[in-house]
Amino acid sequence: MPATFGHGDTSWFVHDRFGMFIHWGLYALPARHEWVKQMERIPDEVYERYFRHFDPDLYDPELWAEAAANAGMKYFVITTKHHEGFCLWDSRLTDYKAPNTPAGRDLLRPAVDAFRRRGLRVGFYYSLLDWHHPHFKIDRFHPLWNHPDRDRLNRERDQSKYAEYLHGQVRELLTQFGRVDILWLDFSYPGPDGKGRDDWKSEELVRMIRELQPHILLNDRLDLPEAWDFKTPEQSQPQEWVKVDGQPVVWEACWTFSGSWGYHRDEDTWKSVEQLVQLLIDTVSKGGNLLLNVGPTGRGEFDERALSRLAGIGEWMKHHGRSIYGCTAAPQDFQTPPGCRLTYNPATRCLYVHVFVWPVGELHLPGFAGKVEYAQLLNDASEIKMSTGSGAPAGPQGGENSTLILHLPIRKPQAVVPVIELFLK
């Protein structure tokens, strides 16, 4: 079992493996990155126009939940508030919330209900940063970071009042929506002109969180070394199982389809279905989870680029979910062949060879001989014939006869990533 410093229940999490991140807020309207307020140093009175025009008339979270479930996702994490400070729910602690926009209602609750109805677990993202709150001290990431009157403005700000607000809002989120499975707090940047545990009153916050929802899984961005349940590498794939102090830990990679988390109209670096499926496989092959992000539009929809990718992933998951759910890294004595990834289900003792590069005729698995009882393609359960030895070079795993040779069809099967299911002896 991987290590964790938290107290939450990770058993479902390391089984389910695949979730949907949703970044939705006022930044869907400028549609050019969720950091737009900071990147373009937009003052409150100008950013205000997005609040006045936020009218997601096509918002139907049933459709979101359907798209996530069909893609094979088992949980979702939604931005209840992002750095801009805007809240999707009807918080009693602020006016800066969806009910006061043309949307005219709480937008969080219907999403929670819809995803729950589909059997997905519920996660809340909540931004520790807040570029709207009057007591959040201006720091290096704030839109007003180079304001000429910054020092004077900061003298009027009392960060502890903001911390109180933050704690109050987290309390609302953990008391008004029933069971919450994940709390995803974002983020700390301690040091000069940054913010960390003292600014958030992190320790006190964690105590409250654990008290309100003891099973909850808490991410690792509170600037506390030992209060998290899982690590969260972002937009960069780890080369091996994520470790802390040399120990493999529970971890979740988060990735966007393109470069932005919020809806970005003109951003064009969208990953293909094949790349996304490979990302999911690669993550599970290293013992991790994948949280894949959608940025809905200002009308309240997933755009075509997201929907087509989700559908493509779902098509693959329908036939290959068995190599993802309940799976983890392969036992160390199974060496990954070139162009492949291995996952393993310890409960069924099945080993999955995900073939990223389809070879001509044969796939050689050094060290596997004698360990496999039966082999088949996962997409159609067609037998893959096996033999040992011949033609295989002697290697570090043993002599000629220790190599298992899989005899593959010449034509690549109909799957973005074909998978061979090996039933171990």
Site residues (vs ligand GLC, CB under 6 A): 23, 34-35, 186-187, 234, 254, 261
For the CB of residue 377, give the shortest distance to ligand GLC in the complex, in Å: 36
The residue among 189 and 325 lying less far from ligand GLC, judged by its C-beta, is 189
Report the alpha-carbon distance of residue 24 to residue 31 in Å, rounded.
Answer: 11
Q: Is 352 helix (H, G, I), strand (E, B) or coil?
A: strand
Smallest CA-to-CA distance from 81 within 29, 43, 124 is with: 124
Q: Are strands 340-345 and 350-355 parallel, antiparallel or unpaired?
A: antiparallel
For the CB of residue 274, give the shortest distance to ligand GLC in the complex, in Å: 23
Residue 183 CA to chain centroid, in angstroms? Answer: 12
Residue that is written with structure tokens 């992000």 in the block: 293
For the CB of residue 36, give the shortest distance to ligand GLC in the complex, in Å: 11
Cis peptide before 257 (omega within 30 of 0): no
For the CB of residue 401, give the shortest distance to ligand GLC in the complex, in Å: 48
For the CB of residue 140, give the shortest distance to ligand GLC in the complex, in Å: 13
| Sheet architecture: strand order including 362-366 | 362-366, 403-407, 385-388
The residue among 59 and 125 lying less far from ligand GLC, judged by its C-beta, is 125
For the CB of residue 234, give the shortest distance to ligand GLC in the complex, in Å: 4
Cβ distance 69 to 61 under 8 Å?
A: no
The residue among 17 and 33 lying less far from ligand GLC, judged by its C-beta, is 33
Q: Are strands 182-186 and 217-218 parallel, antiparallel or unpaired?
A: parallel
The residue among 80 and 379 lying less far from ligand GLC, judged by its C-beta, is 80
For the CB of residue 25, give the shortest distance to ligand GLC in the complex, in Å: 10
Sequence-distant (≥ 6) Cβ neighbours of residue 167 within 8 angstroms: 201, 204, 205, 208
Smallest CA-to-CA distance from 226 within 201, 248, 244 is with: 244
Report the alpha-carbon distance of residue 49 to residue 80 in Å, rounded.
Answer: 20
Tokens for 262, please give them: 């919020």
Tokens for 371, please give them: 């360990």
The residue among 47 and 187 lying less far from ligand GLC, judged by its C-beta, is 187
The residue among 23 and 142 lying less far from ligand GLC, judged by its C-beta, is 23
The residue among 187 and 368 lying less far from ligand GLC, judged by its C-beta, is 187
Alpha helices by DSSP H, listed for 118-184, are 150-155, 159-175
The residue among 224 and 254 lying less far from ligand GLC, judged by its C-beta, is 254
DSSP assignment of 367-419 equals: T-TTSEEEEEETTT--B-EEEESTTPPPBTTBSGGGEEEEE--SSPPSSSS-E
For the CB of residue 35, give the shortest distance to ligand GLC in the complex, in Å: 6
